C-alpha cells in the first residue's frame, strides 16, 4: 500500500514537471514560418549585424553567410525572461569548407541587444549574464563551453578568455546536413545543457536571476563558416510569467548571475560521483520504512551513476566518431600526397630517361660532326692540290708571253722615239 502510494506520488510529480508552457514573446521558429508572410522581421525580436544585417528566410535566419568572411550577426529578444524555471531549445546548423572557422554564441544577458549586440564572447565587454560558445576550440571538431559574468570582468580586454569557462563538452556540429539541437534547462536548484539529446554538463552552482534577454550571435573568420538558426523556443513551467516581488528588497549581488567558487578560484562543477550514499550498519535500520527509503535512495544512486556512465559512453562514442572522421580526412589527405609523390617518382624516371637520351644524342652528334669535318678536310685538300697544279701550269706559259709582250712594246717605243728625234733635228728646206 505504501509502495503504491509512493509510485502514485512520483507519477504525479513527473506529470507536474512535464507541464510546460511556450513563451511566445521569447520564441521563434516553432511554427511553420519564422516571420509573417510579406515581412522581413521576426515579431518581438531584433536583428543586428556587421557589416550586413543577417538574412531572414521563411524557415531560418542566416547569421553569417557562406561568403564573404569576417561577418557578424545576431538576433535578440526584445522582452526579458521573468521566470526562474525555464527551458531554452535552440536549433542551428553550420556549413563551410574544410578549414573554415567561426563561432556561435547563445546568450542570456541583461540588456544584451545593447551590451553585447553582434559580438562574440571574445569581443564582448562587461556583460552581465550567461554565454554559451560553440566553436572548434583548440583544433577540436566541435566544443560547447559555458561562460558566466556578473558585469565585473571585461572579456574583450582579457588575455585568456578560454580560462574563464566553467564547463565544456565536445561534440560534432559542422557539415552534418541537419540542424543540431542545444537545450538549456534552469531551475532553482540546477542548470544543465544537452547537445543533440545527449548530456553535456550540469551544475548546481550557477544561478541566473530573472530580467535577462535571450540572444544568439555568430561570427565568421576569413575562411568563413555559415551559421543558420532555425529555432529558439523558450518554455516555462508556469502558465503566467513568474514575477519576483522581492527584487526590490534584495541587494545587487542577488540580482546578478553567480557561481560558487572553490579554494582554487575555479568554478566548482558538480561531480556526478560526489553524491555517493555513505555506507550504514544494518543495525541502524530498524523499520521497514527506513529499509525501503535506504533501498530507494541506493537504487536511485545506482540509476544516476548508470546514466552518467551511459552518457560518458555516448560522449566517448561521439568523440570517437569525430576522431574517426578527422583520421579519415587525414588519411585521405595522406593518400592524395602519396599520389603526388608517385607522380613525382614517375617524373623523375622520365627525366632520367630524357637525360640518358640526350647524352646518347650528344655522343652521336659529336661523332657525326667529326666524320663531317674529316670529309670536308679531305675534299678541300684534294681540290686545293688540283687547283694549285692547274694554276701553276697556266701561270708558267702566261708569264713568258707577258714577258715577250712587255719587251716588244718597249722596243717599239724606243724605235718610235728615235725616229721622232731624227725628224726633229734634220735641216728644214725652204722654197
> What region does 105 belong to: left with phi over 0, alpha with psi -120 to 50, or beta?
beta
The pLDDT, as a whole number, for residue 42 is 92
Cell reading at 314: 555516448
| pLDDT number for residue 190 | 92
Rg of the chain's alpha carbons, rounded to an integer? 50
In sign, the C-alpha dihedral spanning 361, 365, 367, 371 is: positive
Residues in the chain: 431
Residue 252 reports pLDDT greater than 50: no
Q: State the residue for C-alpha cell 566548482.
A: 268
**Which residue from 159, 78, 158 is spatially nearest to 125, judged by alpha carbons?**
158
With a cut of 80, say whether residue 64 has pLDDT above it.
Answer: yes
Q: 372 or 38, which is more confident?
A: 372
Q: Please state, rounded to an integer, the average pLDDT across all residues of the chain.
A: 80
The gap between the terminal CA atoms of the chain, to the nearest Å, is 203
CA separation for the pair 55, 75 (Å, rounded): 11
pLDDT score, position 100: 87
> Where in the chain are the domains?
21-236, 287-336
How far is the C-alpha of 204 from the C-alpha of 137, rounded, in Å? Answer: 25
**22 pLDDT more than 50:** yes
Q: Is residue 304 pLDDT above 80, yes or no?
A: no
Q: According to the model, what pLDDT value does residue 216 have?
A: 96
More confident residue, 260 or 288: 288
Q: What is the pLDDT of residue 308?
A: 73
The pLDDT of residue 201: 93
Tens-place pLDDT, residues 123-165: 998 999 999 999 998 777 889 999 999 999 999 998 889 999 9
User: CA–CA distance from 74 to each of 24, 46, 119 (Å)?
Assistant: 19, 8, 8
C-alpha 429/C-alpha 3 separation (Å) is: 195
pLDDT digit string, tens, across residues 385-415: 777 777 666 655 556 777 888 888 888 888 8
Q: What percentage of the chain has pLDDT greater than the value 70?
A: 78
Per-residue pLDDT at 120:
93
Which is higher by pLDDT, 230 or 6?
A: 230
Is residue 18 within 8 A of residue 25, CB to CB? The reply is no
CA distances in angstroms from 20 to 78, 87, 234, 238, listed in the order given: 22, 9, 10, 7
45-50 and 72-77 strand pairing: antiparallel
Q: What is the CATH number of domain 21-236?
A: 2.60.120.200
Between 4 and 375, the higher pLDDT residue: 375
Cell numbers linked to 418: 728615235
- With 0.75 as the threshold, say if the pTM is over it: no
Amino acid at each position: 500500500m505504501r509502495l503504491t502510494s509512493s509510485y502514485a506520488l512520483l507519477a504525479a510529480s513527473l506529470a507536474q514537471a512535464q507541464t510546460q508552457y511556450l513563451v511566445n514573446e521569447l520564441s521563434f521558429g516553432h511554427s511553420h514560418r519564422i516571420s509573417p508572410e510579406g515581412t522581413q522581421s521576426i515579431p518581438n525580436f531584433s536583428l543586428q549585424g556587421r557589416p550586413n544585417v543577417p538574412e531572414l528566410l521563411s524557415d531560418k535566419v542566416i547569421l553569417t553567410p557562406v561568403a564573404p568572411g569576417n561577418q557578424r550577426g545576431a538576433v535578440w529578444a526584445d522582452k526579458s525572461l521573468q521566470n526562474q524555471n525555464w527551458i531554452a531549445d535552440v536549433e542551428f546548423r553550420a556549413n563551410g569548407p574544410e578549414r573554415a572557422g567561426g563561432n556561435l554564441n547563445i546568450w542570456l544577458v541583461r540588456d544584451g541587444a545593447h551590451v553585447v549586440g553582434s559580438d562574440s564572447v571574445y569581443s564582448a565587454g562587461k556583460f552581465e549574464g550567461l554565454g554559451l560558445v560553440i566553436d572548434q576550440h583548440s583544433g577540436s571538431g566541435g566544443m560547447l563551453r559555458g561562460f558566466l559574468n556578473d558585469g565585473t570582468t571585461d572579456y574583450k580586454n582579457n588575455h585568456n578568455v578560454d580560462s574563464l569557462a566553467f564547463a565544456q563538452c565536445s561534440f560534432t556540429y559542422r557539415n552534418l546536413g541537419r540542424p543540431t539541437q542545444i537545450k538549456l534547462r534552469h531551475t532553482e536548484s540546477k542548470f544543465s545543457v544537452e547537445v543533440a539529446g545527449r548530456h553535456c554538463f550540469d551544475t548546481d552552482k550557477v544561478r541566473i536571476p530573472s530580467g535577462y534577454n535571450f540572444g544568439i550571435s555568430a561570427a565568421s573568420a576569413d575562411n568563413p563558416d555559415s551559421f543558420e538558426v532555425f529555432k529558439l523556443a523558450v518554455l516555462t513551467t508556469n502558465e503566467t510569467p513568474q514575477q519576483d516581488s522581492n527584487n526590490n528588497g534584495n541587494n545587487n549581488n542577488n540580482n546578478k548571475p553567480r557561481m560558487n567558487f572553490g579554494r582554487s578560484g575555479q568554478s566548482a562543477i558538480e561531480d556526478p560521483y560526489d553524491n555517493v550514499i555513505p555506507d550504514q550498519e544494518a543495525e541502524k535500520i530498524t523499520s521497514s520504512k527506513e529499509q525501503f527509503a535506504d533501498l530507494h535512495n541506493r537504487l536511485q544512486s545506482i540509476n544516476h551513476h548508470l546514466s552518467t556512465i551511459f552518457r560518458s559512453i555516448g560522449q566517448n562514442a561521439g568523440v570517437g566518431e569525430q576522431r574517426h572522421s578527422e583520421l579519415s580526412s587525414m588519411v585521405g589527405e595522406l593518400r592524395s600526397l602519396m599520389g603526388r609523390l608517385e607522380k613525382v617518382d614517375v617524373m623523375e624516371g622520365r627525366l632520367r630517361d630524357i637525360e640518358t637520351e640526350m647524352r646518347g644524342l650528344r655522343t652521336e652528334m659529336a661523332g657525326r660532326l667529326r666524320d663531317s669535318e674529316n670529309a670536308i678536310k679531305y675534299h678541300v685538300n684534294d681540290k686545293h692540290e688540283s687547283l694549285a697544279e692547274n694554276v701553276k701550269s697556266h701561270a708558267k706559259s702566261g708569264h713568258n708571253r707577258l714577258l715577250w709582250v712587255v719587251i716588244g712594246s718597249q722596243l717599239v717605243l724606243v724605235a718610235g722615239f728615235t725616229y721622232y728625234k731624227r725628224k726633229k733635228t734634220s735641216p728644214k728646206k725652204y722654197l
